[in-house]
Amino acid sequence: MNQLDDSTRKLSGRVKWFDPARGFGFVVADEGGPDILLHANVLRNFGQSSVADGAKVEILIQKTQRGVQAIEVIEIAPPEGAGTAVLEDFQALDPEVLQSIAMEPARVKWFDKIKGFGFANVFGRPEDVFIHVEVLRASGLADLAPGEAVAMRVIDGKRGRMATEICAWEAAAR
């Protein structure tokens, strides 16, 4: 753990839960201690509107009168074991080949967590790209908002273009 000043420090932990509708969630530090509040605005400053439960995070925290809060997200990694989503369309593909596909900038058209899918459009291309909820989870995300800028690895699947991996646009630009 790095001490930045008297009240701010950096630590690693895992997302206990995050609810985009409520606008907050909690992180459990690897070192233990009280739950750490993760507000949606702090997550948005990192470039994401959601984060998957169990995702590994590196954050800056600050003690306040109301408890310990994250004030900045430095890094997010998908939950352990998430890896590449194993959908039927991806089973015959080599994971290394999937990882070699370039990330493309896109904008979310819509995503319905309850239905388990949604669509996005790659900039400069007219066709929709299918996004399955399992791909979202494997990418460390819990939900997507209409109009959200993302980066995606896309393949031509049996039923059209499909995302194989998704990340926040800001994370892809880093």
- What's the pLDDT tens digit per position in 34-57? 999 999 999 988 888 889 888 899
The CATH architecture annotation of domain 88-173 reads Beta Barrel (2.40)
Residue with tokens 């399955």, as numbered in its chain: 132
Fold classified for 2-77: OB fold (Dihydrolipoamide Acetyltransferase, E2P) (2.40.50)
pTM over 0.75: no
> pLDDT tens for residues 85-135?
556 667 667 778 778 889 999 999 999 988 989 999 999 999 999 999 888
Please report which residue ranges of the chain form alpha helices under DSSP H.
40-46, 95-100, 133-138, 169-173
**Comma-separated ranges of CATH 2.40.50.140 domains in the chain:** 2-77, 88-173
The predicted-structure confidence for 72-87, as pLDDT tens digits, reads as follows 999 988 887 655 555 6
Return d(Cα 119, Cα 131) in angstroms, integer: 6
Q: What's residue 152's pLDDT?
A: 94
